Amino acid sequence: GAGVSQTPSNKVTEKGKYVELRCDPISGHTALYWYRQSLGQGPEFLIYFQGTGAADDSGLPNDRFFAVRPEGSVSTLKIQRTERGDSAVYLCASSLNIAGGSDTQYFGPGTRLTVL
Amino acid sequence: AQKITQTQPGMFVQEKEAVTLDCTYDTSDQSYGLFWYKQPSSGEMIFLIYQGSYDEQNATEGRYSLNFQKARKSANLVISASQLGDSAMYFCAMRENSGTYKYIFGTGTRLKVLA
């Protein structure tokens, strides 16, 4: 079956602009995660959803970042007034059952965001 | 607080040899999961292996095994019979099973397999 997909694969924007990054999880996966990965670093947790609700958004760096998952499937990460420091690869992952001990995340290919 | 430490920024191994990638963790939870992921130059994160904190035996998946030493809070990845295609970044991650279920990743180890 299809894996996690993310669009666009690359996004170049200017400082101060608004961007939306989309994630389409594996069908049936109830948990969805967003991460940010800077060059040479591991993925940094941003937010996760269980169904439609944000179960933990403690990783969002500030109020310019927001994410939604209105129907419990596709999720959109929204960044307002982008800054150069927001440049990174944004990764999305989904999993079948967040309460499961061996619950495994499956990652999408990421969106490379460049803020000029 | 959760923390993952990978102290080897880069490793080299000769093809067909075994290599161990180090990972230590910190948590106050009794129930947690430990994961290893591979990230080739293409960028996609690939799940390799999982170890639960209550699992008594070390996890194995093909050429991958996880050397789990709970008292030392270490979860090292062992890759046997290295192949050129194993050259990649490797990340250790942890998820606590109480409260928040978020995953915390280490900074990674870049492995280069030499022909």
**Bigger pLDDT: B114 vs A56:** B114
**Chain B closest CA to A8's CA: distance in Å?**
15
Chain B residue with Cα closest to A50: B101
Q: What is the pLDDT of residue A101?
A: 64
HSE-CB at B98 with a 13 A cutoff on CA atoms is 7
> Mean pLDDT of all residues in chain A?
92
Asked if B12 has any chain A CB less than 8 Å from its own CB, the reply is: no
Asked if A48 is an interface residue toward chain B (Cβ–Cβ < 8 A), one would say yes
Band of residue A103 on the pLDDT scale cut at 50, 70, 90: confident
Give the pLDDT of residue A98: 58
Contact state of A45 with B45 under an 8 Å Cβ cutoff = no
Q: Is B92 exposed, middle or buried (0-12, 13-18, 19+ CB in 10 A)?
A: buried
A35 exposure class (CB count in 10 Å sphere: 0-12, 13-18, 19+): buried
Neighbours of A48 (CB within 10 A): 28
Identify the pLDDT of residue A100: 59
Q: Are A41 and B47 within 8 A, CB to CB?
A: no
| Interchain pair B44, A105: CB under 8 A | no
Task: Report the pLDDT value the prediction gives residue B98, as an integer from 0 to 100.
Answer: 76
What is the structure's pLDDT at A34?
97
**Residue A10: predicted pLDDT:** 97
CB-based contact B47:A105 (threshold 8 Å): yes
